[in-house]
Amino acid sequence: MSKPAPRRALPQPRRANALRRPIAKGVSAALVTALASGLGVYGFSQATSASATAPTPVTLTPLVVAPTPVKAVTDGYALASAEVVARQDALETVRKEISAEAARLDSLGRFFFPAVGAIGSPFGMRFHPILHIWRLHDGVDIGADCNSPIWASLSGTVIEAQRGSSSGNYVKIDHGIVNGHKLVSAYLHMNKILVQKGDVVARGQQIGLVGSTGLSTSCHLHLAVYQDGKGTDPARFLTKG
Ligand SMILES: [Zn+2]
């Protein structure tokens, strides 16, 4: 009988396991820490342990959604539109004030100075520069540039707009009764007439261009005023305060 060979003792893994286990545990612990830290860094979760060395968790800031451009533009248009309306209202108010003031000045018979220039030859007897005789100068001469505007001194109705041999191109306006007197004004020597007989004109409305037509030596506006049918000094009305 032979005795069975004694079993050779198998190598015990205990030692190896004993060596590996702590390493495995260490790796695992390190991995957990790393994962926890990493996840914390990327903001997917809070670190589970508040260790002194753990990085400060960063929380992602939610994306702020800006107002849509369309709404911004719409709001802009609304603001601009409101401003335009406000300005139109303000202009309309000013227009009404000017209109009311023009009506008030009309009622006072206060003339709108009819051309840009100073009064040269006054109303009264004078030695006529062309005719070389003494006679009444029945108006005032306003030294104004050729083709500069001529404005109606008061509102009224155009009763004459034509060419005369000595008056040249002229316009006559009936202002009706002003301060108890019938007033008519006339504008002579125009280069061009811009209104017609029958037209209703406003105080300050342009009625022609300065010229030197008719009995005239140079461009100027001869303004005549008839009160109750009689020629009177226009300066009275031009300077009326
Ligand atoms: Zn004159």
Report the percent of the chain where pLDDT is more than 90: 51
Chain segment 144-158, per-residue pLDDT in tens? 999 999 999 999 999
The pLDDT score that the predictor gives to residue 11 is 57
The rounded Å distance from CA 167 to ligand 1 centre is 9
The rounded Å distance from CA 216 to ligand 1 centre is 8
The pLDDT score that the predictor gives to residue 76 is 82
The rounded Å distance from CA 33 to ligand 1 centre is 111
Domain ranges of the chain: 16-61, 70-108, 118-238
Please give the average per-residue pLDDT across 29-36, as a whole number.
50
Residue 199 or residue 12, greater confidence: 199
Please give the average per-residue pLDDT across 174-181, as a whole number.
93
The rounded Å distance from CA 156 to ligand 1 centre is 22
The rounded Å distance from CA 184 to ligand 1 centre is 16
The pLDDT score that the predictor gives to residue 241 is 42
CA distance 60 to 63: 9
Taking 80 as the threshold, does the pLDDT of residue 179 lie above it?
A: yes
* Neighbouring-strand partners of residue 223: 140, 187
Take residue 173 and report the two structure tokens written for it. Answer: 């306006």
Residues with CB under 5 A from ligand 1 (ion): 141, 222
The rounded Å distance from CA 127 to ligand 1 centre is 12
Taking 60 as the threshold, does the pLDDT of residue 6 lie above it?
A: no
Q: Class for domain 118-238, per CATH?
A: mainly beta
Chain segment 220-234, per-residue pLDDT in tens? 999 999 999 999 999
Q: Which candidate, 219, 206, 216, 223, places its Cα nearest to that of 145? A: 219
The pLDDT score that the predictor gives to residue 67 is 65
The rounded Å distance from CA 191 to ligand 1 centre is 15
The rounded Å distance from CA 236 to ligand 1 centre is 16
The rounded Å distance from CA 128 to ligand 1 centre is 10
Q: Torsion over CA of 98, 102, 107 and 108, rounded to 10 degrees? A: 100
